[in-house]
Chains A and B, each alone.
Chain A
Amino acid sequence: MALTQEKQLEMLRIMQTIRRFEERASDDYRTGDIYGVVHCYIGEEAVATGVCAALNRDDQIISTHRGHGHCIAKGADLKRMMAELYGRETGYCKGKGGSMHIADFSIGMLGANGIVAGGIPIVTGAGLAAQLEGKGRVAVSFFGDGASNAGPFHESINIAAAWKLPMIYVCENNLYAASTPAASTLAHSDVAARAAGYDIPGVVVDGNDVMAVYDAAQEAVARARNGEGPSLIECKTYRWRGHTERVGGADPRPQGEIRAWQERDPIERFVAGLMDQGCITQEAWQEMDEEILAEIEEAVQFAIESPFPDLEAAVEDVFAE
């Protein structure tokens, strides 16, 4: 389905916002302003953006440890995201979650998760809730190639298929589970091939082509809304940075491979296509980028100016009152 120019430009803005947010998060992690661990989504922006473009605000998604891109694509507030990374009380989780646990239930973002495959059953529960509610909502599980080898993936898809839950399972196959090549751990080179075992559609798409991702997502979403059950979409993609920012320069992957994937930059490809179609000029693109950088700077300032939580907060929210 052809998208309006406006919608495509919005998708471009989201992709570039993810890229710039991650660059800033990486920088501020290095200076020590962001703690713990940060997993950057750079290189994979087309996946979250293409899938979320096919969703409504009240549809739900769940993320992984590499969650900033999914948050931004679902419409999360950059200020509250950055404040969370900075550990401030104005953050999404009041500074108790950090990079690996950003969630915004008000926009259907059910959280990043530190356990590989841990989110898949949870979002399948959101799919069950959507089915019980009967209002046509759908739920999307983002996960990596590593998670596709874990039990929760198989258990959840089987249940979703047996019950025809309105689910879309999106595998971001970035070819590595942390540092282990997927080629050495996947019995079949395509995760999507596993769909056959659950009698659901499984497609492989170019995860660096945002429109291809969108088209596949759109089809799966329509099927889910129609009560026809889940689909599995495998997006072949690549992360440009190490597994975490903590790893720093010690990336075990071949330099040539990294370069080859950088030449397939999902953002550059999308911009080039939009320019060919006359949707955007070089100046307008540059202007958009500057606006995004300003917005991120504003988010950082918001974080810096926000207080750390009071110590009493440590014992709050263990239970709901």
Chain B
Amino acid sequence: MRKISYAQAGMEALVEEMRRDPTTFHLSTDAPDALVKEFGSERVRATPIAEGALTGIAVGAAGSGFRPIINWSMVTFSFVAMDQIVNQAAKIHYMFGGQVKFPITFRTSVGGGRRVAAQHSQSPYSMFMNLAGLKMILPSTPYDMKGLLKTVIRDDNPIISFESNRLMGFAGEVPEDPYTVPLGKADIKREGTDVTIVALAWLVHEALAAAEVLDKEGVSVEVLDPRTLVPLDCDAIRASVQKTGRLVIADEAGPTAGASAEIAAVATEDAETFAKMKAPVKRVCALHVPIPYTPQLEDHVFPDRDNIVAGVREVMDAG
């Protein structure tokens, strides 16, 4: 099968969906050439650097029968639009009693590793998970990126596509034939029997690398990628943990009130799952600090395969 990059997979999803649905249009502070060329500058607009306004414009256009696709670029810039995201997009369907749909795709990049310091190295998806009314995806492979993003664009709700900085150039198999990946369906990226690692985005790949190391030590690791954070596939997480009895969660974000905390609760709050657990949950996350610039410090702050291996050993030792 052909291989394309994570970034190319995202672009393919956009092109296919914009061809499919004339009510889609694209707003971002830089208009992607490929889209402008095919769809013209009416449907693919470069906006002023005014994320608040363009996010609100998406809400209004969505409520008027269109299906806007917004690219905030780095998630840093979404914070400029917080009123429109938190007070408007997330609540407007409920607040108005479900009168009309607000189908909006927000794309944004997250994560570190690019030596761009604190503002541009964030993974704040749990801030948005805390709001009712937004769905969100966090793909880890080109295949998932394309399939999920197509589903997102077709969905009738505001959805944030969090896309990993570190994976933009990562190549993977993507079929030529059209397909979609459903929201709320986790994917077992590697099957195992001794411990479940629920890993997010870039850390899926680090977890797979860690699993190879651990395999040589006789530890059979299952790697589960939730792929969507809202809705979260609680059933799949619980089923895997019931099978292995142990849970390690790997997230590039900090631990405090993070997606990792939510995933831990999903497993431990469930009596049936808890009953089968042999060891305490272990979270392998970034340190709870703004992200530093210099490579020595940045690499220290973020978790990687070595931290995951250590986390799994700790859990195996505990029971």
Chain A residues within CB distance 8 Å of chain B = 60, 62, 91-97, 101, 103-106, 110-111, 113-115, 118, 120-130, 132-133, 139, 151-152, 155-156, 158-159, 162-163, 316-321
Contacts and interface: CB of A to CB of B under 8 A. Distances in A.
A114 B87 contact: yes
Contact of A122 (B45, B48, B57): B57
A121 B64 CA distance: 13
29 contacts: A92-B97, A104-B99, A105-B96, A105-B100, A110-B60, A110-B63, A111-B95, A118-B87, A121-B52, A121-B55, A122-B59, A122-B88, A124-B53, A124-B57, A124-B60, A125-B56, A125-B60, A125-B62, A128-B60, A128-B61, A152-B83, A155-B50, A155-B52, A155-B53, A159-B50, A163-B45, A316-B98, A318-B93, A320-B98
Given A159-B50, A317-B97, A320-B98, A122 B63 contact: yes
Interface of B: 25, 42-43, 45, 47-48, 50, 52-66, 68, 83-84, 87-88, 92-103, 132-133, 135, 156-157
A125 B52 CA distance: 12
A91 B84 contact: no
A223 B53 CA distance: 23
Given A97-B95, A318-B132, A132 B56 contact: no
A17 B147 CA distance: 53
Most chain A beta-carbon neighbours within 10 Å: one of B56, B60, B88, B98: B60
Contacts of B63: 105, 110, 122, 125-126
Given A101-B95, A111-B92, A121-B84, A159 B64 contact: no
Most chain B beta-carbon neighbours within 10 Å: one of A122, A124, A129, A132: A122
B284 to A, nearest CB: 31
Contacts of B50: 155, 158-159
Given A125-B56, A151-B52, A103 B96 contact: yes
Contacts of A139: 60
A124 B27 CA distance: 14
Contacts of A105: 63, 96, 99-100
B93 A111 contact: no
Contacts of B96: 92-93, 96-97, 101, 103, 105, 111
A123 B60 contact: yes
Contact of A120 (B56, B58, B65, B97): B56
Given A132-B42, A132-B66, A155-B48, A317 B98 contact: yes
A114 B95 CA distance: 11
Nearest to B57: A125
